[in-house]
Amino acid sequence: MQRKLAVANWKMNGTIEKLQDIESLTKIHQQSQVGIVICPPATLIYQAVQITNNSNLQIGGQNCHYDTSGPYTGDISADMLNNLGARYVIIGHSERRNSYDEQNEDVYARATAAINCNLTVIVCVGETAKQKKQNITLDVVVTQLKECIPNIQDARQLVIAYEPVWAIGTGKIPTINQIHLVHSHMRKQLNKRFGSEIASQICLLYGGSVNPHNATDIFAIPDVDGALVGNSSLFSQDFSSIIVALESSKF
Ligand code: PEP
């Protein structure tokens, strides 16, 4: 059975008071049958983990370095995230790729470090607006899957988020058919690489302007196992509605 997952990416938002949102989500969704992951800024991870202990919410980081420790001012290692109690980490988000010039090989190295530290890695892939215009979405995604994803032994080590860059924070989303096409293609590629037993269990998220109004339609798409949510996850009622939509979607 594939695991359904709702992941909140808070990006560089939230100070101590915002931890209240996590506390209320643990109460509202204590019986939830889907996975719920909050990726707050690194400054809140330790307290977020304390709040979510004994709940079914888990905490993730938004990035990690490829090395375990060393002279990398400002960076955080996968080992450090694990030590704080984080269980997931987002790698290769387009904002990291754009602002810090992270290439596929960097994503691969960071994802490898994360897996080696027993974190579940959420690898982001997706085409830019220009690539979409050029009609090369599938080629871009296939190359990213090939170059960014390390070998895994267990489907629980890996989550893939298809996030068209042009859909992030813009209010625009691809058509249902486009999302379906990309997700079924990703599943096929994973089948080729890992075999059907593992590939069928890998959680494939859609990300890019998911909100309470479009979530139900997105979760009805075959091979969409959940969402990576940016903006809407900053409003706990909206994120909660997205979780409810996922809970109500067909397993
Ligand atoms: C994201 O940044 O991963 C994201 C999906 O953002 P938004 O939901 O705001 O488009």
pLDDT in tens, 3-49: 799 999 999 999 999 999 999 999 999 999 999 999 999 999 999 99
Ligand 1: does its nearest atom lie under 6 Å from the Cβ of 228? yes
Residue 161 CA, closest ligand 1 atom number:
3
C-alpha 183 to ligand 1 mean position (Å)? 17
Q: How far is 19 from 146, CA to CA, in rounded Å?
A: 37
pLDDT at 251: 60
pLDDT at 62: 98
Residue 227 CA, closest ligand 1 atom number:
5
What does the pLDDT average to over 206-227? 98
Examine the residue annotation and report whether 93 is marked as an active-site residue of this protein: yes
Residues of the chain above pLDDT 90, percent: 98
Examine the residue annotation and report whether 163 is marked as an active-site residue of this protein: yes
Ligand 1: does its nearest atom lie under 6 Å from the Cβ of 231? yes
Q: How far is 146 from 34, CA to CA, in rounded Å?
A: 28
Residue 168 CA, closest ligand 1 atom number:
10
List, in sequence order, every residue forming a beta bridge with 35; answer none if it has no partner.
5
134 — pLDDT class (breaks 50, 70, 90): very high
Residues of the chain above pLDDT 70, percent: 99
C-alpha 49 to ligand 1 mean position (Å)? 22
Q: How far is 62 from 100, CA to CA, in rounded Å?
A: 14
C-alpha 116 to ligand 1 mean position (Å)? 27
Angle at 183 between CA 179 and CA 188, to 5 degrees: 150
pLDDT at 119: 98
Ligand 1: does its nearest atom lie under 6 Å from the Cβ of 207? yes
pTM over 0.95: yes
Ligand 1: does its nearest atom lie under 6 Å from the Cβ of 63? no
What does the pLDDT average to over 160-183? 98
**Which residue owns the Cα nearest ligand 1 atom 7?**
230
Residue 167 CA, closest ligand 1 atom number:
10
**Which residue owns the Cα nearest ligand 1 atom 6?**
230
SS3 sequence of the chain: CCCCEEEEECCCCCCHHHHHHHHHHHHHCCCCCCEEEEECCHHHHHHHHHHHCCCCEEEEECCCECCCCCCCCCCCEHHHHHHHCCCEEEECCHHHHHHHCCCHHHHHHHHHHHHHCCCEEEEEECCCHHHHHCCCHHHHHHHHHHHHCCCCCCHHHEEEEECCHHHCCCCCCCCHHHHHHHHHHHHHHHHHHHCHHHHCCCEEEEECCCCCCCHHHHHCCCCCCEEEECHHHHCHHHHHHHHHHHHHCCC
pLDDT at 3: 79
Closest CA to 93 of 126, 117, 133, 129: 126
Name the residue with tokens 């890998």: 202
Decide if pLDDT at 219 tops 70: yes
**Which residue owns the Cα nearest ligand 1 atom 2?**
230
Tell me the pLDDT tens digit for each residue of 69-112. Answer: 999 999 999 999 999 999 999 999 999 999 999 999 999 999 99
C-alpha 55 to ligand 1 mean position (Å)? 25
